[in-house]
Amino acid sequence: LGTVFRGWALAEGGHADEGRALMERGIADARATGARIGLPHMLALLAELRGTRGDPAAGLALLDEALALADESGERHYEAELH
């Protein structure tokens, strides 16, 4: 989670490519451990970055995945933001 947030902070600070790479690595690392808690939130942050940096289709696909995960797991704390 820390890697994802660090990537998000870098992207927001003007280092979009470096930030995106860190976010993607953090999400991949979380998936590799089998972790699912917080994944919708992490995907939403990456979706926003993708959507605002020229790849809205990828951003929307990430949001679809995040919504599906939230529905499947029952994790609702970030659901409003996904919509």
pLDDT digit string, tens, across residues 66-81 = 999 999 988 888 888 8
Among candidates 81, 14, 68, 10, which has minimal Cα distance to 36? 68
Query: What pLDDT score does 49 carry?
Result: 95
Q: Provide the token pair at 16.
A: 């979009």
Note the pLDDT tens digit of each residue in 10-21.
999 999 999 999
pTM for the complete prediction? 0.90
